[in-house]
Amino acid sequence: MTTPLNERRLANAIRVLAVDAVQQANSGHPGAPMGMAEIAEVLWRQFLRHNPSNPNWPNRDRFVLSNGHGSMLQYALLHLSGYDVSVDDLKQFRQLHSKTPGHPEYGYTAGVETTTGPLGQGIANAVGFAIAEKTLAAQFNRDGLNVVDHFTYCFMGDGCLMEGISHEVCSLAGTLQLGKLIAYYDDNGISIDGEVEGWFSDDTQKRFEAYGWHVVKVDGHDTEALHAATLAAQAETKRPSLIICKTVIGLGSPNKQGKEECHGAPLGVSEIELVRDTLTWTDEPFVIPADVYDAWDARPKGIIQENEWNTLFEDYRTQYPELAAELQRRLNGDLPADFASKADQYIRDVNSKAETIASRKASQNALQAFGPQLPELLGGSADLAGSNLTIWKGCEGIQDNPAGNYIHYGVREFGMTAIANGIALHGGFIPYVATFLIFMEYARNAVRMGALMKQRVIHVYTHDSIGLGEDGPTHQPIEQLASLRGTPNLNTWRPADTVESAIAWKSALERKDGPTALVFSRQNLPHLTRTETQITDAAKGGYVLAAEQGELKAIIIATGSEVDLAMQAYSQLSGVRVVSMPCAEEFMRQDAAYRESVLPANIRARVAVEASHVDYWWKFVGLDGKVIGMSTFGESAPAKDLFKYFGITTEAVVAAVEELVAR
């Protein structure tokens, strides 16, 4: 092990800040920050291109702490290098509304690129960052003017590698030759339950070499070896790199280093005193000497690096003004100025065309209309493009052309979704990803993380109900819509026909503060006639599709394929209105007056019908109402037989309305 004394002292600053903050909070994970201190010092002081004075500089390197439980490592790095993270912020570690929450959270702390904690998703986000960098560079860079040119670095631990998502994304990263992705594996052999060799005996080097990665093993406390390994990784342009760093968890704690005791609990006051003795650190808790701060301060160098890039970009702007403006537009997340008007015209045209087609086909048609206007679209499907209908005529795979706009993700629903979160976080793209609705379950936690981070990711889910038929209960979604709708900050659209499908796509593309799930049918859905006002109101998530004749006595609420069923019932009833509710979240955002105009509070005879789990709809129909839907799993049979078998029929809706009105 070769580590100059001054570098060890700089690494020790991380250690003492970590143990002090965890002790003060009486909660946290000191072991990883202590064990990875040298790795962090080498990367952040010697390689990372960033400017703490401007954390959002577009061409900064991206850093991801996939083992997010070691968050004090990142907070210590941000504080020491000059970000807006003060000593007082460190003292508020894990406290309400602090900049230093228990796991790194995007939007809370300057310099945190993504929310991490659920293990494996950080490295997945990092793959997304690297894909975005490579694709954006291929689309915009010109000879001698590489305005998109940065690395993505990721720290990860044993838990990240045990999670199956790491296989999904690291396999794809090797296939896509993401040469500017560099990961550091903290190989400390310890997890919460103890020494991992009893349950994790993989040959990680061979595993990643099989993926097509460049792999090197080093002593994770040897700064010279770490420096050399990072240089070698940067020089490898075709393959992503994994640097396996053998470390001692909690290094510096005489009685707890190398043991699970230091993984997820404070060391204790007496042990911290021993840590200070071991590290020959004489300063009081949370006190860092001025010379250490000076050595860590990344602002002077970062300002120079950003200014150099600004000069490069001005040259780029002079030579390629249209490209420069387009890149800035995309990085800002703005749609083209004429997108809304063109999209609205397309929706009117679709209404006039009056096609009876599956909503998944209507979705593809919308992509074909909107795609040529939006070069920032970066689509993909989990090996179901022919069923999800996510490829439009302008699609080109990035595996064949790095400047393309489509990713064949393979059968990797979870990895695909977490990668899309990373692509959105990077900027410059609006990612959309697709699978069958039932397989949203594989991706569930990544969907949640995208909603938590308020990222513009579009989730396309097809085969939306028992209407998919013969594939049976393994493929028929029942509770998935309720799960999506129960996710804060996620919009879930289930359109009834071509018009609502186009409106749903427009809404998802225009939404900048969160993800959207677009849920489409396998089977054909008839066109529903609408006025201009109804088209406008459909974008509000819920609207009156068929008004009552005479006195209003009852309301039928429906979504997707069941809207036509509701309309058939409407034709047999009087005093009834039909409300199409393609997006309940958007409807609930409308003002009280609009909601009352659609669902008058005094009309308690309400029936909701949807070929999905019944529980979601009680909040709209009330305890006096009725919900016609599913409360069991499905069966394998043609769709028409299934709807009849489970009682989701026109006759059932008519009978329910008549019963409620009779009360």
Can you say which residues are annotated as belonging to the binding site? Answer: 29, 69, 117-119, 158-159, 188, 190, 263, 360, 387, 439, 463, 471, 475, 522
- Examine the pLDDT at 128 and tell me if it is beyond 80: yes
Under the banding of pLDDT at 50, 70 and 90, the label for residue 414 is very high
C-alpha 324/C-alpha 334 separation (Å) is: 14
In a domain, 328, yes or no: no
User: For residue 69, is pLDDT > 90?
Assistant: yes
Residue by residue, DSSP assigns 362-379 as HHHHHHHHHGGG-TTEEE
Residue 153's closest CA among 213, 34, 243, 38? Answer: 243
DSSP per residue over 332-359, as a string?
Answer: HTPPPTTHHHHHHHHHHHHHHH---EEH
Mean pLDDT along residues 169-176: 98
| Whether residue 504 sits in one domain with residue 378 | yes
- Look at residue 324 and tell me if it is in a domain: no
Nearest to 509 by CA among 362, 365, 370: 370
| Statement to judge: residues 161 and 22 lie in one domain | yes
DSSP 70: G
- Residue where one domain finishes, among candidates 477, 501, 525: 525
Q: Is residue 327 part of a domain?
A: no
Name the residue type at position 426: H
Q: Are residues 59 and 194 in the same domain?
A: yes
Task: Report the chain's terminal Cα–Cα distance, integer Å.
Answer: 83
Helix 299-319 with 321-332: angle, nearest 10 deg = 130
The pLDDT-based confidence of 501 (bands split at 50, 70, 90) is very high
Binding residues for substrate: 29, 263, 360, 387, 463, 471, 475, 522
CB atoms within 10 A of CB 91: 16
Residue 1: band (very low, low, confident or very high) from pLDDT cuts 50, 70, 90? low
Last residue of a domain, one of 525, 558, 588: 525
Residue among 30, 427, 74, 414 at smallest CA distance from 250: 30
Which pLDDT band holds residue 3 (cuts at 50, 70, 90)?
confident
Same domain, 93 and 192: yes
pLDDT tens digits along 297-331: 999 999 999 999 999 999 999 999 999 999 999 99
| Amino acid identity at 108 | Y
DSSP E strands: which ranges in 560-646?
Answer: 576-580, 606-613, 626-630
Q: Is 326 part of a structural domain of the chain?
A: no
Give tens-digit pLDDT for 602-633.
999 999 999 999 999 999 999 999 999 999 99
Q: Tell me how far apart the alpha carbons of residues 164 and 187 are, in angstroms, rounded to a whole number.
A: 18
Retrieve residue 433's tokens: 């990803």
Look at residue 113 and tell me whether its pLDDT is greater than 80.
Answer: yes
What percent of the chain stands above pLDDT 70? 100
Please report, as a single letter, which amino acid is at residue 343. Answer: A
Assess if residue 308 is contained within a domain.
no
Residues in contact with 546: Cβ distance below 8 Å, sequence separation at least 6, in sequence order: 567, 570, 577, 578
Strand partners, 436: 462
Q: What confidence score (pLDDT) does residue 428 get? A: 98
CATH number of domain containing 22: 3.40.50.970
| Contacts with 140 (C-beta within 8 Å, 6 or more apart), sequence order | 147, 148, 323, 326, 327
Whether residue 534 is contained in a domain is answered as no
Average pLDDT, the chain: 97
Q: How confident is the model at residue 2 (pLDDT cuts 50, 70, 90)?
A: low
Q: Are residues 242 and 154 in the same domain?
A: yes
Please count the structural domains in the chain: 3
Q: Which strands make up the sheet holding 152-157, listed edge to edge?
A: 62-65, 152-157, 181-187, 241-246, 214-219
- 332 belongs to a structural domain: no
H-run or E-run covering 171:
helix 164-175
Distance of alpha carbon 485 from alpha carbon 152, whole angstroms: 33
**How is the chain split among helix, strand and coil, in percent rounded to 5?**
45, 15, 40
What DSSP assignment string belongs to 527-583? -----HHHHHHHTTT-EEEEPPSSS--EEEEE-TTHHHHHHHHHTT-SSEEEEE-S-
Do 270 and 150 lie in one domain? The reply is yes
For residues 334 and 492, what is the distance between their CA atoms, to the nearest angstrom?
Answer: 22
Contact 124, 170 (CB under 8 A): no
Q: Per-residue pLDDT tens for 13-33?
A: 999 999 999 999 999 999 999
Inter-residue contact 87 to 286 (CB < 8 Å):
yes
Q: Is the dihedral of CA 352, 353, 359, 365 positive or negative?
A: negative
Cα atoms in the 13 Å half-sphere on the side-chain side of 528? 31
Residue 228 in this model has a pLDDT that exceeds 90: yes
Query: Binding site membership for Mg(2+): which residues?
Result: 158, 188, 190
List binding-site positions for thiamine diphosphate: 69, 117-119, 159, 188, 263, 439
What CATH number has the domain bearing residue 558? 3.40.50.920
460 and 609 inside one domain: no
pLDDT for position 226: 98
Question: In whole angstroms, what is the distance from residue 507 CA to residue 491 CA?
Answer: 9
Residue with tokens 């989730």: 459
pTM, two decimals, is 0.98
**pLDDT tens digits for range 519-533:** 999 999 999 999 999
Encode 558-581: b = buried (16+ Cβ within 10 Å), e = exposed.
Answer: bbbbbbbbbbebbeebeebbbbbb
Q: Are 513 and 455 in contact (CB under 8 A)?
A: no
- Do 125 and 185 share a domain, yes or no? yes
Residue 162 DSSP SS3: helix
Please return the burial class of 359, using the count of CB atoms within 10 Å of its CB with bins 0-12, 13-18 and 19+. Answer: buried
Domain interval for residue 651? 540-662
Is pLDDT at 345 greater than 60 in this prediction? yes
Is the per-residue pLDDT at 663 higher than 90? no
Which residues are registered as beta bridge partners of 381? 408, 434
Do residues 494 and 346 share a domain?
Answer: yes
For the annotated catalytic residues, the residue numbers are 413
CB atoms within 10 A of CB 406: 23
Between CA 451 and CA 456 the distance in angstroms is: 9
Asked whether residue 202 falls in the same domain as residue 346, the answer is no
In a domain, 310, yes or no: no
* C-beta of residue 41 within 8 angstroms of C-beta of residue 11: yes
C-alpha closest to that of 7 among 233, 221, 185, 184 = 221
Same-domain check for residues 646 and 622: yes
Count CA atoms closer than 13 A to 549's CA, side-chain side: 5
- Are 519 and 559 in the same domain? no
DSSP annotation of 91 = H
